[in-house]
Chains A and B, each alone.
Chain A
Amino acid sequence: MDFDYFMQLFLGGLTRGSIYALIALGYTMVYGIIQLINFAHGEIYMIGAFTGLIVSSVLTMAGMPTLGVVIMAAMAAVIYSSAYGYTMEKIAYKPLRNAPRLSALISAIGMSLFLQNYVLLAQTSDFLPFPSLIPDFDFWEPYAHLISSPELVILATTFVVMMLLTVLIKFTRIGKAMRATSQDKIMAALLGINVDRIISVTFVVGSATAAIGGLLIASHIGQINFYMGFIAGIKAFVAAVLGGIGSIPGAVLGSFVLGWTESFFTGYISSDYEDVFAFIILVVILIFRPSGILGKSETQKV
């Protein structure tokens, strides 16, 4: 019984951590390349969910089968959010590339508020129902209550996205160029790498994973609103810092640690202080490992 309870909390934390991870990847990659904390990243996740809702509603009304709806909604969310990420970088960050780092940070916060209010006005402030894109299968007992099919899909998708990202960064030309850019922008440019293009690619890839996260959680929870990106974004940012910002495995590990912390804390102690303890963990880790769990230690001012 108790092991069973532990497993439920473990898997719940893992699911939540997976979504954090999909968002945190964008934070960590952007930071790795241009040392910017893109506070508008949570809004990209929200826009992904909204795009998914609009596309899936239209397609369902048009009578498309569920599988087709899922694929089209996912593609639309990824493409649309990536376009937002790309544009955002071009308007809000590129002109400030050589400005003091604080300016870009403020620009990011402005972008976040702008996107929230834009969606609020363009859509609605209400909570909107989100269709279950992933059918809810009944697993056989004694596993039915441990994990549901949507949660399994979330875990599997996160795993696949991580794999693809690792391949992209480790084994492709563009990945090599990304690593080079993050190491030394000027040197990379001197060696003939188009730094601006690499930065754009980073924003696009980060936005795509966030959009997938937004779509998955919206379909699992069944509701979205314009504000959903704010808390999720903050938590994912914390996860990225926890794991060591700039490090991709770190973002994933940090997300899982955060997801588990919240889940176990709620399960064994009290959900009243869930957030308090999530942030205490952050502070404690940063006291002993200022660069995060997997981060490289180098002193930098933000």
Chain B
Amino acid sequence: MKKMGKVSAILSILLFAAVALTGNLFAADTIKFGVAGAHSGDLASYGLPSVKAAELVVKKVNANGGILGKQVELLVEDDVCKPEVAGNTATKLVSDGVNVVLGHICSGATKAALGFYKDAGIVVMSPSATTPDLTLSGDYPNFFRTIAHDAVQAQLQVKYATQVLKVKKIAILHDKGDYGKGQAELAQKYFTEAGVEVALFEGVTPGAMDYSAIVTKLSRTKPDLVIWGGYHPEASKIVAQMRKKRMKTAFMGGDGVKDNTFIKVAGKYAEGVYATGPMDISSNPLAIQAKKEHQDAYGSDPGAFFDAAYSATLALLNAIEKAGSTDYDAIVKVLHTDLVDTPLGKIKFDEHGDATGIGFSVYKVENGKFVEQK
């Protein structure tokens, strides 16, 4: 019995050594590309397209001989978009020795995971986490993203309103929800900074029977522009009531309004309404090609954030190649300075880590369609 114990102990030590040895052996041979995000649960539809995007890019890269003479190995870890799981996911990826990470998907989970990567000196790039603080706070120099953050929309609205529409006084309404109120507060902040007077800032009740009282109040403050934070059903009600009250004031919403249902529901009252929304990339040849690759490999159209994830994968692999190593500082330097051609256009990253050259456009409803304003 005693002898058996000794033998098994020796055996297990040998086994352990063997595993560790092979681990080291492979580690030297591949570039480990982590993919983290929601791959199961109710938000899986946001995370899985990123996995597919990474698979498609990596397959192509490997077929062409890999990067720096090494094959790229994908390490896919699920965080279910839960901050409490994301920490473990990050720890797992770090201990597996990833070189870079694509992810995470949800802002909350991303924030929870970023600290772990920062301590380990690993570059992280998210295709979908839009909370402004992730980059703007400066707490995470290792974090990059290929999607514009929420404040970009507000900044764009301010830029368009002050430069093109030349507004002096605005009114801001929102739907009191997280999304709508968040947008409205960002708009208020940037408009005030731009020297525009915010004459009214109020929340309305979504689903209320009508908005005649708030529209009356709007018309009394005589704004040059009404900014709406929220979704399209309330927006169409408010716009319709404004027009019926003979208010010709311009109206501008965010990506919650840039939805064809808005035009369908608001009908003729939608004419002339401004909305900011993601830039139209459907004519970019790389975007068309990426979509076709997905179509060929999986037989379906790509899902949410696919283009952003595809671009992020390209940007990360390009950075490793240009840097000539997987060294953290070298990769970060390339990301900041080198333009890379992606489905989102030619992008690099600004000092905060946000991709430049992508983002939102202002659209205006003209003849029943959203038309991009140049």
**Which A residues lie within 8 Å of B269 (CB)?**
222
**Shortest distance from the beta carbon of B145 to any chain A beta carbon, whole Å:** 31
| Contact (Cβ within 8 A) A145 B209 | no
Q: Does chain B have a CB within 8 A of A15?
A: yes
Spot the interface stretch: A105-113, A122-130, A283-291. Answer: A122-130
Q: Does chain A have a CB within 8 A of B203?
A: yes
The answer to whether residues A9 and B216 also contact, given A271-B202, A271-B204, A272-B202 and a CB cut-off of 8 A, is yes
**Bound complex: CA A115 to CA B209 (Å):** 19
**Bound complex: CA A129 to CA B205 (Å):** 20
Spot the interface stretch: B53-61, B106-114, B238-246, B332-340. Answer: B238-246
Nearest residue in B to A263 (C-beta to C-beta)?
B213
Q: Does chain A have a CB within 8 A of B2?
A: no
Nearest residue in B to A23 (C-beta to C-beta)?
B209
Q: Does chain B have a CB within 8 A of A8?
A: yes
| Contact (Cβ within 8 A) B209 A127 | no
Q: Does chain A have a CB within 8 A of B237?
A: yes
Spot the interface stretch: A52-60, A193-201, A227-235. Answer: A227-235
**Which A residues lie within 8 Å of B232 (CB)?**
127
Q: Does chain B have a CB within 8 A of A160?
A: no
| Contact (Cβ within 8 A) B237 A9 | no
**Shortest distance from the beta carbon of B357 to any chain A beta carbon, whole Å:** 35
Q: For chain A, residues 240 to 275, give those with C-beta under 8 angstroms from any C-beta of chain B.
A: 262-267, 270-272, 274-275
Q: Chain A interface secondary structure, helix, strand, loop or mixed?
A: helix
Q: Chain B interface secondary structure, helix, strand, loop or mixed?
A: helix
Q: Does chain A have a CB within 8 A of B261?
A: yes
Residue among B203, B217, B240, B261 with the highest chain A CB neighbour number at 10 A: B217
| Contact (Cβ within 8 A) A145 B219 | yes
Interface string of A112-138 (1 = CB under 8 A from B): 000000000000001111000000100
**Bound complex: CA A223 to CA B212 (Å):** 15
**Which B residues lie within 8 Å of A19 (CB)?**
209
**Which A residues lie within 8 Å of B203 (CB)?**
271-272
| Contact (Cβ within 8 A) B217 A266 | yes
| Contact (Cβ within 8 A) A267 B217 | yes
Interface string of B309-330 (1 = CB under 8 A from A): 0000000000000000000000
The answer to whether residues A220 and B233 also contact, given A5-B220, A271-B204 and a CB cut-off of 8 A, is no
Interface size range on A against B: 35 or more
**Which B residues lie within 8 Å of A267 (CB)?**
213, 216-217
| Contact (Cβ within 8 A) A13 B213 | yes
| Contact (Cβ within 8 A) B213 A222 | no
Q: Does chain B have a CB within 8 A of A167?
A: no
**Which B residues lie within 8 Å of A152 (CB)?**
none
**Which B residues lie within 8 Å of A228 (CB)?**
207
**Which B residues lie within 8 Å of A12 (CB)?**
210, 212-213, 216
**Which B residues lie within 8 Å of A217 (CB)?**
209-210
Residue among A5, A223, A264 with the highest chain B CB neighbour number at 10 A: A223
| Contact (Cβ within 8 A) A8 B216 | yes
CB<8 Å pairs between A and B, sample of 11 = A12-B212, A19-B209, A127-B261, A217-B209, A221-B210, A223-B236, A231-B208, A231-B209, A267-B213, A267-B216, A271-B214
Please list the 5 inter-chain residue pairs (A to B) with the smallest Cβ-Cβ separation, ordered nearest first.
A12-B212, A266-B213, A263-B213, A8-B216, A129-B265
Chain B residues within CB distance 8 Å of chain A:
176, 202-205, 207-210, 212-214, 216-217, 219-220, 232-233, 236-237, 240-241, 244-246, 261, 264-267, 269
Beyond A9-B213, A145-B219, A221-B240, 16 extra complex contacts between A and B, CB < 8 Å:
A12-B216, A13-B213, A19-B209, A127-B265, A129-B266, A129-B267, A145-B245, A221-B209, A221-B210, A222-B266, A222-B267, A225-B233, A231-B209, A263-B213, A265-B213, A272-B176
